[in-house]
Amino acid sequence: MKPIMTKDGSFTFKSDNETYHSISGAFEEAFEKFAKPALKDKLSFRRLRILDLFFGLGYNTAAAMHYYWQNRPDGYLDIVGVENDPGILDEISTLHVPQLVKKEYDILRLLKARDWHHEDKMVRISIIIDDALKAVHGLKDGFDIVFFDPFSPKQSPELWNLEFFKAIARMMKQGGVLTTYSCAGHVRRNLVAAGFEVKDGPRVGRRAPSTIATKP
């Protein structure tokens, strides 16, 4: 894989004719479509548990750490990432990222050497290298936030189905928030059928909005 620079100066990669992030700005997308919409109403929480499905390069996690600690410097994050491609995880160790998130991304660079686990006084991060459809069934319940960031419904329809959303909903706390970039009609219908309340998220890099789904 070759890195592709996006318009905000951050890099992404391309796989099977789809990029891992928006070309308009990879970190812009991580902040505006995922981290901020999920966290903005939970900044009063002293501890948060986050599930980062389809972890990839870890941009959503890095953005979440930065945004949360910027607003809640005494906060603690317990993050579980799920990713089935070790190759994309390997890119974390050398990838150039914006100075804004360098401190947070340096934490992610430690993960491979520590068997994909890191823990300190501010954060615990564990990466599960497995198929997300299987991995979710072995996770402990109680997530406050889910970042749902797979390839598109067109390319990977099996990841956007009702049963998978039901499995995710079962693991989330009441009031938990799922953020995703897709606003496709059938995706939102499946989220609603799985028990979520759905609304528009930010429009970043395209006309269509992203999606914010809350477990009532």
Over residues 63-76, the pLDDT tens digits come to 999 999 999 999 99
Lowest mean pLDDT among 16-25, 80-89, 164-173, 176-185: 16-25
Nearest to 149 by CA among 8, 11, 29, 13: 29
- Cα gap 56→118, rounded to integer Å: 17
Beta bridge partners of 55: none
Please report which residue ranges of 7-158 form alpha helices under DSSP H: 26-29, 36-39, 59-71, 86-90, 102-109, 132-135
Give per-residue pLDDT as tens, 85-120: 999 999 999 898 999 999 999 999 999 999 999 999
pLDDT at 214: 98
Task: Please give the residue that has the higher pLDDT: either 146 or 24.
Answer: 146
Question: What is the average per-residue pLDDT within 26-37?
Answer: 93
Residue 70 token pair: 């910027």
Please report which residue ranges of the chain form alpha helices under DSSP H: 26-29, 36-39, 59-71, 86-90, 102-109, 132-135, 162-171, 185-193
* 108: Cα within 13 Å, side-chain hemisphere: 31
CATH assignment, 27-214: 3.40.50.150
Distance between alpha carbon 176 and the CA centroid of its chain, in Å?
14
